[in-house]
Structure 1
Amino acid sequence: MAPYIGPEALKGVQSHESLRTAEGFATADALQTLKAVQDLIGTYFAKNTPPGPCSAPRTLTPDVPSPDSTVKDDEPCIAPASPKSPGTAEGVSSIAVTQPSSSAVNGGVTAGSPLTSAEDHFRGAIKVSDPATPLQDVQDTIKSAGSVGVSTMASAEINGTTNGHGKPPGTGVTDGTNGVASSKPQPGPGSGPKPGPPPLNKEHLRFLAASISSSIDQLTTSDGPDAKAAHMKAAAAALELTASLRAPPEVIMSWFSTASVVSAVRLFLEWGVFDAIPPGPHGISFSELAEKVKAEESLLVRVSWMLTSNSILKHVSSAPVGLSHTPISMLLRTGQPMNAMFKLMYTNIVEVSTILPPYFSTYGRREPLGPAHIPTSFLAGQPHLEYFEHLNQDPARIQNFMLAMGITHRNVPTTGMYPMDSVIAAASASPSRPIWVDIGGGDGHTVKLFLQTYPLPASQCIVQDLPEVVSAAQSQISASADSDLAQVRFLPMDFHRDPPVAGARCYYLRHILRDYSDPTAINILKNLKKGLTEEDSRILIAEQVIEDPPAAYAAFKDYAMLAIGGKERTLEGFKGIAEAAGLEVSGVFRDKVQAAHAVVEMKVKV
Structure 2
Amino acid sequence: MSGELQQLEIQSLLEDIKCSVDQFEATKSEQARVRALEKSLKLIKALEHPKDAVLKLFLSPTQAMAVKIAHDLGIFAILTGAATTTSCKQLADQSGANSLLVERIMRVLVAIDFAQEEGPGMYSPTSLSREMTDKKSGSIVDTLFVDFAPAIVKTPDFLRETNYQNPEDHSAGPIQYTYNVKMTTFEWLARDVAVHERFHNYVQGVRESRPFWVDWFPVQERILNGYTGAPSDPLIVDMACGSGRDMLALKRKFPDLTGRVILQDLPAVFNAIHSHDIGLEKIGHDIFDRQPVEGARVYFLKFILHEFSDDNCIKILQNTIQGMKKGYSKILIEEFILPDENAGLFHSMVDMILMVVGPGIVRTKSQWATILKSVGLTVNLICHPDGDGPSIIEAEL
Tell me the TM-score normalised to structure 1 length: 0.60
Indicate which of 536, 548, 556 corresponds to 2:349.
Answer: 556
Aligned partner of 2:376 in structure 1 is 583
Residue equivalent to 2:321: 529
Q: Does 1:228 align with 2:30?
A: yes
Distance (Å, rounded) in 2 between the aligned partners of 1:515 and 1:354: 21
Q: CA deviation at 1:200?
A: 5.7
In the alignment, the residues of structure 2 paired with residue 213 and residue 365 of structure 1 have an alpha-carbon distance, to the nearest angstrom, of 42
CA distance 1:290–1:200, change in 2 (3 Å): farther
SS at match of 1:217: helix
User: 1:394 pairs with 167, 192, 197, which one?
Assistant: 192
**Structure 1, residues 40-81: CA drift from partner, whole Å, max 9, x if none?**
xxxxxxxxxxxxxxxxxxxxxxxxxxxxxxxxxxxxxxxxxx
Q: Within 2, Cα distance between the matches of 1:589 and 1:260?
A: 39
Are residues 1:368 and 2:167 paired? yes
Query: How many angstroms does 1:596 deviate by?
Result: 6.5
1:81-480 mapped onto 2 (5 Å cutoff): 180=1, 201-220=6-25, 226-280=28-82, 282-317=84-119, 321-333=121-133, 335-347=134-146, 350-382=149-181, 384-413=182-211, 414-415=213-214, 416-418=216-218, 420-454=220-254, 457=257, 459-473=259-273, 476-477=274-275
Kindly indicate whether the alpha-carbon contact (under 8 Å) linking 2:113 and 2:126 is maintained by their aligned counterparts in 1. yes
Deviation at 1:266, TM superposition (A): 1.9
SS in 2 for 1:311: coil
Contact 1:200 1:245 in 2 (8 A): no
Partner of 1:143: none
- CA apart distance, 1:210: 2.2
Deviations 1:236-258 (A, max 9, x none): 33332222111111111110232
Cα distance in 2 for partners of 1:251, 1:577 equals 38
Shift of residue 489, structure 1, vs aligned partner: 0.8
Give a deviation string over 1:270-302, Cα, whole Å, max 9, x none. 333323334357343222322333322112212
**Distance between the aligned counterparts of 2:72 and 2:225, measured in 1?**
54
Provide the secondary structure at the position in 1 that maps to 2:335. Answer: strand
Q: Note closer, same or farther for the CA distance 1:576–1:534 as it changes in structure 2 (3 Å cut).
A: closer
Give SS of 2:282's match: strand
Greater Cα offset, 295-304 or 417-426:
417-426
Q: CA deviation at 1:309?
A: 1.9
Judged with a 3 Å threshold, the aligned counterparts in structure 2 of structure 1 residues 298 and 231 are, in CA distance, closer, same or farther, namely same
Query: 1:585/1:251 Cα in 2 relative to 1: closer, same or farther (>3 Å)?
Result: farther
Counterparts of 2:161 and 2:258, CA distance in 1: 49
The aligned amino acid for 2:328 is: D
| Distance of aligned partners of 1:355 and 1:282 in 2 relative to their CA distance in 1, 3 Å threshold | same
Structure 1 CA distance for aligned equivalents of residues 291 and 229 of structure 2: 25
Q: SS at 1:435's partner residue?
A: strand
Distance 1:354 1:230 in 2: 34
Give how far 1:499 is off: 2.4
Higher helix fraction (1 or 2) = 2
The unaligned stretches of length 5 or more in structure 2 are none
Partner SS state of residue 300, structure 2: strand
Query: 2 CA distance for matches of 1:397 and 1:362?
Result: 28
Is contact 2:31–2:386 with CA below 8 Å preserved after alignment? yes
Bigger relative contact order, structure 1 or 2, given CA contacts below 8 A and separation 6+?
A: 1
- Of residues 529, 552, 569, the one that matches 2:363 is 569
Structure 1 position 419, deviation (Å): 5.0
State the one-letter code of the partner of 1:327: S
Instruction: Give the deviation of 1:456 after TM superposition.
Output: 5.9
Corresponding residue for residue 494 of structure 1: 286
Three-state SS of the structure 1 residue aligned to 2:237 is strand
| Secondary structure in 1 matching 2:177 | helix
Mapped to 2, the partners of 1:199 and 1:310 lie a distance apart of 31
Q: Distance in 2 between matches of 1:458 and 1:324?
A: 53
Q: Deviation digits for residues 139-161 of structure 1, max 9, x if unmatched?
A: xxxxxxxxxxxxxxxxxxxxxxx
TM-score using structure 2 length: 0.89
Cα distance, 1:437 vs structure 2 = 0.4
Deviation (angstroms), 1:261: 0.7
Letter in structure 2 aligned against 1:215: S
Identity %: 21
Give CA deviations for 1:421-444 in whole Å, capped at 9, x if unaligned: 352134354433211001111232
RMSD across aligned positions (CA) = 2.6
Distance, in Å, in 2 between the alignment partners of 1:387 and 1:428 is 41
1:562 shift after superposition: 0.5
Structure label with greater radius of gyration: 1
Matched residues, number: 393
Alpha-carbon contact 1:417-1:598 (below 8 Å) kept:
no
Is the contact made by 1:311 and 1:326 (CA closer than 8 Å) also made in structure 2? Answer: yes
1:123 matched residue in structure 2? none
Distance in 2 (CA, whole Å) between partners of 1:577 and 1:596 is: 22
What amino acid sits opposite 2:143 in the alignment?
L
The residue number in structure 2 matching 1:504 is 296
